[in-house]
Amino acid sequence: MTTQSYLSELFSLDGRVAVVTGGSSGIGRAIAGALARAGAAVVVVARRREELAATVEELTADGCRAAWVSADLGTREAVRAAAEEAAKAFGEPDILVNSAGINQRPPMGELGEDVWDITMAVNLEAPYLLGQRFGPGMAERGFGRIIHVSSQQAHRAFVQSGAYGVSKGGLESLSRSQAEAWSPYGVTCNTLVPGFVMTPLNARLSSDPERVAALAARTMIGRNGLAEDFAGAAVFLASRASAYVTGQSIFVDGGLSVH
Ligand SMILES: NC(=O)c1ccc[n+]([C@@H]2O[C@H](COP(=O)([O-])OP(=O)(O)OC[C@H]3O[C@@H](n4cnc5c(N)ncnc54)[C@H](OP(=O)(O)O)[C@@H]3O)[C@@H](O)[C@H]2O)c1
């Protein structure tokens, strides 16, 4: 057996279909690119059309199969419609990645129900609804991968965790519930846990060099995360190689959480 065919057997996503929410920016975009380059046909879902189109253009220029669906995952009806549209592009997905997320940061005392509701809707309810839509089909077909993207704030309070930390804590619990339900049928469900990653989500914090340096110093590796740092872990969790890994929270954080 050649090295290439060995690696291919473990990690290739040839013939797989993936739906990646938030696939037009930051961590989601890096994951969408990684899955596509590993062989999957990828549908990216987010609101802004220009970013979606640019992502798909980059992937197709690289010889990958990719499509986009514009949807606001903040309402249940829109999530349901987006799921149907996403499944039309390349068929029912084998891989679902929930990376779309928002982080509004009012201090707890000023946290209103509007911020609470939209945070729960995008960060927790959309992943739940998409899991309900795609999980049973994956189980029926005997293969599936659900990958959530949570946050260190699922585990500890950090810069006004507010509703955001609560939604991410719920997301990791959702992942374990899904794992319990569908793992017997070949559908693994896991969560990637970023530390501090330099993406548009953190534009305000990232533009403060002192805060950036202080956060980097809290990691063991000595730098903050980059979206590309999630490529390898995502391909692993999406592939056959991770068949016995389920219900886990995998920290891709340069050691931040254990420092
Ligand atoms: N960056 C970090 O340090 C960090 C740390 C911990 C966890 N995370 C998590 O990692 C995930 C990705 O974040 P990121 O840093 O890559 O942020 P990002 O670059 O801002 O990407 C967020 C993505 O979600 C989409 N999105 C946001 N609201 C949406 C909505 N209502 N409907 C549909 N799509 C929506 C955005 O596209 P549109 O705006 O066009 O809709 C975008 O594609 C998030 O779940 C975040 O909570 C990030």
- Four-point Cα dihedral 54, 60, 65, 71, nearest 10: 10
The closest-lying atom of ligand 1 relative to the alpha carbon of residue 225 is: 3
- Tell me the three state secondary structure of residue 145: strand
Amino acid at 204: R
pLDDT at position 256 over 90: yes
| Pairing status of strand 95-98 against strand 66-70 | unpaired
Out of 128, 164, 185, 244, pick the active-site residue.
164
Nearest CA owner, ligand 1 atom 33: 46
Per-residue pLDDT tens digits for 23-35: 999 999 999 999 9
Residues 6+ apart with CB under 8 A from 217: none
The answer to whether position 258 is within a domain reads no
Per-residue pLDDT tens digits for 150-160: 999 999 998 88
What's the mean per-residue pLDDT of the chain?
97
What is the domain extent for residue 183? 3-253
* d(CA 98, ligand 1 centre) in Å: 9
Inter-residue contact 26 to 228 (CB < 8 Å):
no
Nearest CA owner, ligand 1 atom 47: 101
The answer to whether position 259 is within a domain reads no
Nearest CA owner, ligand 1 atom 37: 46
The answer to whether position 39 is within a domain reads yes
Number of folded domains in the chain?
1
Return the CATH number at 130. Answer: 3.40.50.720
The answer to whether position 118 is within a domain reads yes
Percentage above 90 pLDDT, the chain: 93
Pick from 80, 199, 206 the residue to mutate for probing ligand 1's pocket: most ligand atoms within 8 Å of its CB: 199
Count helices and strands in the chain by DSSP H and E runs: 10, 7
Per-residue pLDDT tens digits for 115-131: 999 999 999 999 999 99
Please give the Cα distance from 238 to 95 (Å, whole number).
Answer: 6
Per-residue pLDDT tens digits for 11-26: 999 999 999 999 999 9
Supply the pLDDT for residue 204.
83
Ligand 1 first shell, C-beta below 6 A: 22, 24-28, 46-48, 51, 71-74, 99-103, 122, 149, 151, 194, 196-197, 199-202
Q: What is the pTM of this model?
A: 0.98
Q: Which two tokens stand for residue 252?
A: 């891709």
Pick from 19, 25, 153 the residue to mutate for probing ligand 1's pocket: most ligand atoms within 8 Å of its CB: 25
Q: Would you give the end-to-end CA distance of the chain in angstroms?
A: 41
> What count of other Cβ atoms lies within 10 Å of the Cβ of residue 42?
33
Residue 244 among the catalytic residues: no
Long-range contacts for 60-65 (Cβ within 8 Å, ≥24 apart)? 62/36, 62/37, 64/36, 64/37, 65/36, 65/40, 65/41, 65/90
Classify residue 122 by its DSSP letter. I
Supply the pLDDT for residue 158.
84
> What count of other Cβ atoms lies within 10 Å of the Cβ of residue 232?
12
